[in-house]
Amino acid sequence: MKTTHDSQYRGNLVVAVVIAALASFLAFPSLVEAWRTDLYARGGPAAFAIWILTHIVVFILNRNQSRHPARWTTIAALTCAAGSVADLRVLLHAGLALAFTGLAGFRFTGLASAVAALSWMPAAGWFISRLRAGGLDGWERPLVATAFAVVIITAVRIRNSQRS
């Protein structure tokens, strides 16, 4: 028997997936361009691949959990809209990060995901280049994304084992 809560969860999930797809559509051209040409974005594609695969694993591990924080999705949609209107790539990249963060699940995962998204964002490389001459060498971004993956997947597995 289906409950109203299950229907609401599915509705929220569909909206989150649509927002994630829209954010991907808006952000990917500039991400690919930055990763291809920007010296300060070295390692970004590998970090993004690890970051996104972590979200897929967390989503699969949480498939039986009927919790979906709609506020991440709402913030992602507003950030993407602001990025599109203002033509600011950094807002489009942040909107993409927040959209997938919304799919991640519970609070700790979402917060960690948003912070770990800095590992693949081109703007982070620019800021780091101001602190360190020449920016990153390229291996640091995937390392940060891998650390995020290990911590989050372990936390989700521990939480799921405590619930069962």
C-alpha triplet 78, 46, 20: angle, nearest 5°: 25
| Domain, as residue range, for 84 | 4-163
The domain total for the chain is 1
Whether 80 contacts 101, CB under 8 Å: no
Measured between alpha carbons, how far is 77 from 64 in angstroms, rounded to an integer?
25
Q: Residues 6 or more apart from 153 whose CB is under 8 A from it?
A: 54, 57, 58, 61
Structure token digits, residue 58: 């967390």
- Residue 2's pLDDT is 54
Lowest mean pLDDT, pick from 19-23, 45-49, 103-107: 103-107
Q: Residues 6 or more apart from 58 whose CB is under 8 A from it?
A: 104, 105, 109, 152, 153, 156
pLDDT tens digit sequence for 117-164? 988 998 887 777 777 766 667 678 888 889 999 998 898 888 888 876
Q: Confidence class of residue 101 from pLDDT cuts 50, 70 and 90?
A: confident
Measured between alpha carbons, how far is 124 from 44 in angstroms, rounded to an integer?
10
CA gyration radius for the chain? 16
